[in-house]
Amino acid sequence: MRDLLRYSARRSLAEALPHDQLRAGPEAPTRDAWAVAVTQGWTGLLVPEEYGGSALALADMVVLSEELGRALFPGPLVATAVLGATLATGHAALLTSIANGSIRIGVSWPDDLRGGLPVQPGPVNRNGALRGSLTLVEYPIDATHILLLDWDQAILVPASDLVVTEQQPFDITCPIGSVDCDGVRLGHCPTLTHDAIMIERAMAAAAVTIAAELVGVAAAALEMTISYVGERRQFGTTIGSFQAVKHRLADTYVLIENARSATAYAAAVEDARGRDRALALDTAASCAVEAALAATADAVQLHGAIGYAWDHDAHLYLKRARRLAANLGQPEAARARIAATLMQSLSHGAEFLFPPIAVLEETR
């Protein structure tokens, strides 16, 4: 099932999203990408069947997300189909709209999805109306709704009620902007939830999905680099035969495989609501960020001069990796949380067991 999802996604994305369009600007590719996502049913992957979705698991979304990273998918699919669908549990009309693709959600991601909500102040409720603004909202022009997140509430605001100012994006495949929320009345804005536990679960699902996208970015960058060093010749031989190049790419391959396994396991634990969810998610985030930053940096450097050119794909993968890594937070922070968890458990005499082989095989 998951192999079929991976194959169909890779083929559909390759046909619909040529990278020369991505370099030209995000407008047309964003619309084309969303049409593909709706046609393939990706927008409703996590939505229950009674609302038009597929009712699949987060482990399935992780498989798809890796392919989205490979293709540099330009659209708010994670914000809509993962964060939005999870938060909208119990809202029949919203879930139906998410599944059929008529809702596209823009969001200003937290500074660290694994570490908590943003420290910067967001819009506040003043007598039933919003005051304040959001910065770095992804896909604000193409979104139908903007998601406002707080510790104990998630509110979906129609984009038509907001004033959006476009900004220059770092990653040209992802338009960004600031959103002025002043004066928006909350009466017709659906509150998705006031449940802090539900918000934490939605953020965790988004985090593991973004980690999987980083794995896809890293894998595509590594494959592109291996292909190049196998053809580029210096001193009468291909540069891929040089020991320094081979060892560097081999190390990156190991990082990617570690990240892929950690991400698949984190999704499985999240689906099962396992007791080690936080540990698994921090491990996946840390491994995925490290692998993606290493693979995309290698791609730029080992391609030589062409790797710095605008007409080459290397910079697109590098910028995507850095943008997604910023959403997951610094690997050092995740590792500090992992260390604290392990030390606390050890101090209480707990035993740490590796997941059973059957569980690992199931997540592949």
Average pLDDT over every residue of 86-108? 94
Give the pLDDT score at 258: 96
Average pLDDT over every residue of 18-34? 72
The per-residue pLDDT for range 259-268, each reduced to its tens digit, is 999 999 999 9
Average pLDDT over every residue of 276-300? 94
**DSSP string covering 45-110, please?**
TTS-GGGTS----HHHHHHHHHHHHHHT--S-HIIIIIIIHHHTTT-HHHHHHHHTT---EEE---
Bridge-based pairing of strands 145-149 and 105-107 is: parallel
CATH H-level superfamily of 197-363: Butyryl-CoA Dehydrogenase, subunit A, domain 3 (1.20.140.10)
CA distances 102 to 198, 236, 268, Å, are 24, 56, 29
Task: Please check the confidence at residue 228 and state whether its pLDDT lies above 80.
Answer: yes
Q: CB neighbours of 178 closer than 8 A, spacing ≥ 6?
A: 133, 134, 135, 136, 137, 164, 165, 167
Distance in angstroms (rounded) separating the CA atoms of residues 154 and 11 = 35
Task: Please check the confidence at residue 3 and state whether its pLDDT lies above 80.
Answer: yes
Task: Please check the confidence at residue 31 and state whether its pLDDT lies above 80.
Answer: no
Q: What is the DSSP letter of 149?
A: E
Tokens for 236?
């009468």
Q: At what angle do helices 277-302 and 314-328 cross, to 10 degrees?
A: 160
Model pTM greater than 0.85? yes
Give the pLDDT score at 351: 55
What is the chain's alpha carbon radius of gyration, rounded to the nearest angstrom? 21
CB 40 within 8 A of CB 8: yes
Distance in angstroms (rounded) separating the CA atoms of residues 204 and 219 = 23
First-last CA distance in the chain: 12
CB 143 within 8 A of CB 102: no
Tokens for 270?
């999240």
Distance in angstroms (rounded) separating the CA atoms of residues 151 and 148 = 10
